Amino acid sequence: MTDTKNSSGVDGGDAVVSALNAVGADYIFCSSGSEWAPVWESLARRHRDGEPAPEYLDLTHETVAVGMATGYGLVTRRPQGVLLHAAPGLLQGSMAVHGALLAGVPMVVTSSESTTYGDAPGHDPGGQWYRNLSIVGGPHQIAQPFTKWSNEAASVHTLPTMITRAAELAWRAPAGPAYLNIPLEILLEEWDGREAKPIVPPGSTHSSPEEVDPVAQMIREAKNPVIVTETAGREAGGFEALVAFAEAWNIPVVEPDSAVCGNFPRTHPLHAGSDIGPWMDEADLILLVNCRAPFYPPSRRPSKAQIVVIDEVPQRPHVVYQVLFADRYLEGNVANTLRQLAKRAKDLDVAAVTARRAAQEERHADEQAAIAAAEAKAAQAEGIDPVLVAATLRKLLDGQDAIVVDETITHSRVVKRHALTSDPDSYFYVQGGLGQGMAVALGVKLAAGDRPVVLTIGDGAFTYNPVIQSYDAANAYGLPVLIVVFNNRVYKSMNLNHRRFYPDGAAAGTGEWLGTDLHRLPRLAQFAEPFGMHTETVDAPDALAPALERALKAVAEGTTAVVDVLVTR
Cβ proximity of 415 and 42 under 8 Å: no
Q: Measuring CA to CA, which residue among 110, 105, 79 is closest to residue 93? A: 110
Residue 466 phi, psi dihedral angles, 5° rounding: -75, 80
User: DSSP readout, 106-164?
Assistant: -EEEEE---SSTT-SSS----HHIIIII--TT-HHHHHGGGSSEEEE---TTTHHHHHH
For the chain, the C-alpha Rg in angstroms (whole number) is 25
Q: Which amino acid is at 318?
A: H
pLDDT at 437: 98
pLDDT in tens, 236-245: 999 999 999 9
pLDDT in tens, 479-498: 999 999 999 988 888 888 89
Q: Where are the alpha helices (DSSP H) in 50-120?
A: 62-76, 86-103
Q: Measuring CA to CA, which residue among 492, 429, 437 is closest to residue 460? A: 492
pLDDT at 9: 58
pLDDT at 122: 84
pLDDT at 2: 38
Give the residues of the chain that fall short of pLDDT 70. Answer: 1-9
**What's the per-residue H, E or C state across 486-506?**
EECCECHHHHHHHHHHCCCCH
pLDDT at 241: 98
pLDDT at 518: 87
Cβ proximity of 149 and 56 under 8 Å: no
| Residues in a beta bridge with 287 | 227, 308
